[in-house]
Amino acid sequence: MVGYSFELALQGMRRFPRTSALAMLTVAIGLAASMTTLTLLHTLSADPLPGLSQHLYLVWVDTVRAKPTTYTTLDGTGVVDYKRLRMADVEALLAARRAVRQTAVADMFARVEGGDAGHGNDETILAATSDFIPMFGVALRDGRSWTAAEDAARTPVAVIDSELARSLFSTERAVGKVLRIKGHAVRVIGVSAPYAPQPHFFALDQWSFSGSERERVFMPYSAALDVGAEPRRSDGCDADTAKDKTLFSVDVARCAWLGYWVQLDTPQAVADYRIYLNNYLQQQKDLASFGRSQQAQLLDVPQWLTLQNVIPDNVRLNVWLAGSFLLLCMVNVTGLLAAKFMRRSAEVGIRRALGAPRRAVMLQHMIEAGAVCVLGGVLAWPLTLLGLALLRMQGQGFTDLARLDVSMFGALFMLAMLVGMLVGFLPAWQVSMVQPGLQVKSA
Amino acid sequence: MSLRVMLASLRRHSLMPALVLLQVAFACAILCNVFFLAWQRLEPMLAPSGLDADNLIVVDNLAAMGRSFTVAETEAGERALRAVPGVRAASAGFALPMVDSASILLNLRGPTQVAVGVSAFFGKGLVQSLGLKMLGGRDFVASEYRPWGIGASNGDDAWNTGAAQPIIITQALADKLFGRANPLGQMLIDPEDKDGHGYQVIGVVKHMLRNQLGLAIDGRADYTVLLARSIGNTAMLNYAVRVDPSMREAAMQGVKKAIERQFAPLMSGGVQPRVEFYADKRDEALKSSRATLWLLLGLVLTIAIVTLVGIMGLTGFWVQRRTRQIGIRRALGARRADILRYFLLENVLIVGAGIALGMLLAYVGNLMLMHYYELSHLPLAYLPMGAAVMLAMGQLGVWGPARRAAAVPPVVATRSV
């Protein structure tokens, strides 16, 4: 019976091709609008480091020796605070080694040159400590990461990504070669695959999403400071910092410029670390006189991304807008199909009089509605790609990452089926209620 | 034909009218919100800048790394700019119009307890250099300016003067803060600044568009003030340069050269000064808003077309089903115009009900969005706008089918189908 219903449904679709095409097109536009906005949201809310990020926590203790300078404007804008630490605290926390792994993270800037001087680029350097590379899942292609001993000894070593290796040394086999940063020699000890988790959660002060920017040099922050790389901004400085060192340059000893991340594998470890942090803060006796809120924070990655409002509001707003538009399209198609189906009430009446059960009539029309929507979904695919291409053309940094992946393609198909069911139900039910006798009589 | 008959007929066959109604309701709800979103983008585009936009050059991105510009260097820059042929006025300033690298935001509260967040421009002689139009009061006098700078020290704290400081506000702010009262001489305080002595209004300018266009919505475009700050030692500064309209291009070249000459030796770290006309900067700043606006326009058009097609399809079918009834009515003496009017009126009825539901949905939808996102209240004025579009679409959609209905000859009544 299903096969027969299928045949009838396809025949029905071909009967008024204009109406069918119109319904298909409407479904396609609604689906494409929804899928375009959903894909962007999906891209932006994806886990930056699947498998690793659930164990990562950002550590924050507010130890800047200055009066708090918060000024909240009625326009709802305030100074963004990236929860960075002063170097003294980073060193103390690193020395305690209370977590499975721990690392400082900061983006620093310098001109990086290859073997022959003059050939180089202005690079964003990811300055960290030895645990960063295993902890944040940087894939090494060659060589090794640096060790805690090299951190302590301030050894000028670096891991660079394959792209920079090719650009500076024309080969990916760059281990053992020497970089020059501000005239200082830095030995390459490892070559990594390009590393660009989205969002750029470990240094949101630089950018949150980018298809083009990334750090191509990883090195110990101690050595990075020695060779003259500079952090660009801080979250606040001690009161005794010279004023001209607070805005564009950072007094590395007095300003909060290093992010600090730990890896904690169990809830117990998280709870223990919290206690440890609060104790650590209690020990800073001289802090009390500055009137800052004495609170330690331990934030997991989702909390951190929410706090920083990483996904722009209008991305979600557009999903709502497109969703309601899809709803409108669905009501519209329901109407088109109802009109189309009811036009054939005479022949349905005959079929019913000849013994076709309601179920069969209903099934036939549900299939027809489903087919219209699935074909609409097929049509929506290129339309979605077009929508995403339009999005990427806007070039707002985060938009150029929007791509249709397999899961979103599956979601499109499921959505089309669901829309078909919802849209087809009412008209199919209506047409299955046609009385057999009546139609035979009047025909 | 009485309304009761019409309603009875609608009740008898309720699926088609219900679908039209639902469609109109959704479309109306979306349209109201889209119009509102579009207006939020449009508002900063249409807001008057209040200054000599075509002849104003803004110099941005002057930044001293690890040191600061001294007062002497800043003033030398000002003198060099004034010496450029075609330049009428030049001021060193901070957070000037259309500067995006820095902005100053503060809160002000008036005697009526109304508090607003405002943008501020700093610099000496800005009324002249920006070409602002004063409506009342006076400009600052030289002795009122206090040196100020960012990332550098300027001796005593310029904010804490021990007395109220003079302030120039816009007409829009005066209306908001003081209502009908004369703003001149009125006192304002900053509720966040506990040690401050407040501000006294000494002048009112007509318009002054704030430099964060994202905040220039909901009637807040002109929430801008001038404070009596001259630029002292600072790590960052801007210049506002007003030029002779007949020498725009030549003056631009001159200004670029003067900035290069004065600041190239003082800046390091690969930062390039930006010298642009205000009008171009504003145009650039509005680029993404314009893109969004086109997108929203496309959405409005699509919604209109989808609704139109939907109404046409449904009413077409519905008219066809009632061919016989129409024939009977014609045979009983109804004129063509009566039939036409019947269908148009019926459509108004259905669409009207849809609009009523749609307005409710629009409002609920807006409340929901407000709850989750930073969006302001949907002003009630948007509801009739969506309604008008829907009514027009309804009448347009029903016109064809109604005409066909009116063309049904009375003889149809005698046939069996």
The single-letter code of the amino acid at A92 is A
Search chain B and give the residue with CA nearest A439: B417
Contact across the interface for B23 and A426, Cβ inside 8 Å: no
* Closest approach of A290 to chain B, Cα-based (Å): 17
Give the per-residue pLDDT at A406.
Answer: 80
**Chain centroid to CA A45:** 4
Structural domain containing residue A331 = 2-45+312-442
Search chain B and give the residue with CA nearest A20: B313
Q: Which of A69, A314, A324 to mutate to test the interface with B (most CBs of B within 10 A)?
A: A324
Give the per-residue pLDDT at A49.
Answer: 92
The single-letter code of the amino acid at B219 is G
CA angle A190, A194, A199 (to 5 degrees): 125
Residue B311 sits in the same domain as residue B253:
no
Residue A101 sits in the same domain as residue A200:
yes
Q: pTM of the predicted model, to two decimals? A: 0.85
Give the per-residue pLDDT at B21.
Answer: 93
Cβ neighbours of A122 in B, within 8 Å: 270
Contact across the interface for B299 and A26, Cβ inside 8 Å: no
Residue A58 sits in the same domain as residue A189:
yes
Residue B297 sits in the same domain as residue B340:
yes
Search chain B and give the residue with CA nearest A323: B30
Residue A176 sits in the same domain as residue A319:
no
Residue B256 sits in the same domain as residue B292:
no
Contact across the interface for A335 and B310, Cβ inside 8 Å: yes
Among A291, A307, A323, give the residue marking a domain's end.
Answer: A307
Residue B292 sits in the same domain as residue B407:
yes
- CA B278, B280, B282, B286: dihedral to nearest 10 degrees? 180
Spans in chain A with pLDDT lower than 50? 443
Half-sphere exposure of A404 (CA within 13 A, CB side): 21
The single-letter code of the amino acid at A161 is D
Q: Tell me if A261 sits within 8 A of A197, measured CB to CB.
A: no
Window 362-421 of A, Cβ < 8 Å to B: 394, 396
Residue A146 sits in the same domain as residue A271:
yes
B61 belongs to a structural domain: no
Q: Tell me if B266 sits within 8 A of B69, measured CB to CB.
A: yes
B34 belongs to a structural domain: yes
Q: Which two tokens stand for residue B126?
A: 């800005």
B273 belongs to a structural domain: no
Q: Tell me if B324 sits within 8 A of B411, measured CB to CB.
A: no
Contact across the interface for A339 and B307, Cβ inside 8 Å: no
B50 belongs to a structural domain: no
Residue B292 sits in the same domain as residue B381:
yes
Q: Which two tokens stand for residue B285?
A: 């700043």
| Cβ of residue A121 closer than 8 Å to a chain B Cβ | no
Contact across the interface for A331 and B19, Cβ inside 8 Å: yes
Q: Which two tokens stand for residue A272?
A: 């223990």
Residue A271 sits in the same domain as residue A233:
yes
Q: Which two tokens stand for residue B290?
A: 């314009």
Q: Which of A69, A73, A252 to mutate to test the interface with B (most CBs of B within 10 A)?
A: A73
Residue B156 sits in the same domain as residue B232:
yes
Residue B76 sits in the same domain as residue B145:
yes
Residue B176 sits in the same domain as residue B319:
no
Cβ neighbours of B314 in A, within 8 Å: 335-336, 338-339
Q: Which of B23, B218, B350 to mutate to test the interface with A (most CBs of A within 10 A)?
A: B23
Q: Which of A121, A241, A243 to mutate to test the interface with B (most CBs of B within 10 A)?
A: A243
3-state secondary structure chain B: CCHHHHHHHHHHCCHHHHHHHHHHHHHHHHHHHHHHHHHHHHHHHHCCCCCCHHHEEEEEEEECCCCCECHHHHHHHHHHHHCCCCEEEEEEEECCCCCCCCCEEEEEECCCCCEEEEEEEEECCHHHHHCCCEEEECCCCHHHCEEECCCCCCCCCCCCCCCCEEEEEEHHHHHHHHCCCCCCCCEEECCCCCCCCCEEEEEEECCCCCCCHHHCCCCCCCCEEEECEEECCECEEEEEEEECHHHHHHHHHHHHHHHHHHHCCCCCCCCCCEEEEHHHHHHHHCHHHHHHHHHHHHHHHHHHHHHHHHHHHHHHHHHHHCHHHHHHHHHCCCCHHHHHHHHHHHHHHHHHHHHHHHHHHHHHHHHHHHHHCCCCCCCCCHHHHHHHHHHHHHHHHHHHHHHHHHCCCHHHHHCCC
How many separate domains does chain B show?
Answer: 2
Residue A228 sits in the same domain as residue A333:
no
B64, B117, B153 member nearest A75 (Cβ): B117
- Tell which residue, B211, B281, B276, has the closest CA to residue B248: B276
Give the per-residue pLDDT at B248.
Answer: 93
Search chain A and give the residue with CA nearest B104: A73
Residue B224 sits in the same domain as residue B86:
yes
B26, B63, B416 member nearest A248 (Cβ): B63
How many separate domains does chain A show?
Answer: 2
* Closest approach of B397 to chain A, Cα-based (Å): 13
Give the per-residue pLDDT at B357.
Answer: 95
B278 belongs to a structural domain: no
B58 belongs to a structural domain: no
B26, B318, B369 member nearest A328 (Cβ): B26
Among A277, A307, A337, give the residue marking a domain's end.
Answer: A307
Contact across the interface for A335 and B235, Cβ inside 8 Å: no
Residue A301 sits in the same domain as residue A339:
no
Structural domain containing residue B258 = 66-266
| Cβ of residue A19 closer than 8 Å to a chain B Cβ | yes
Cβ neighbours of B268 in A, within 8 Å: none
- Tell which residue, B265, B167, B150, B251, has the closest CA to residue B208: B167
A247, A329, A396 member nearest B151 (Cβ): A247
Residue A118 sits in the same domain as residue A257:
yes
- Tell which residue, A263, A243, A264, has the closest CA to residue A254: A243
Interatomic CA distance for residues B215 and B212, integer angstroms: 6
β-pair type (A256-263, B229-231)? unpaired
**Chain centroid to CA A9:** 42
Residue B205 sits in the same domain as residue B115:
yes
β-pair type (B165-170, B199-205)? parallel
Residue B171 sits in the same domain as residue B311:
no
Among A307, A327, A343, give the residue marking a domain's end.
Answer: A307
Residue A24 sits in the same domain as residue A83:
no
Residue B215 sits in the same domain as residue B328:
no
Largest CA distance in chain A: 100
Q: Which two tokens stand for residue B300?
A: 């409005």
Return averaged pLDDT per consecutive 10 residues of chain B, 417 residues in all: 74 83 94 90 92 94 84 93 94 92 88 91 94 94 89 67 87 93 92 82 95 86 94 91 94 94 81 92 89 89 91 85 86 89 91 94 88 78 88 91 87 67
Residue A238 sits in the same domain as residue A287:
yes
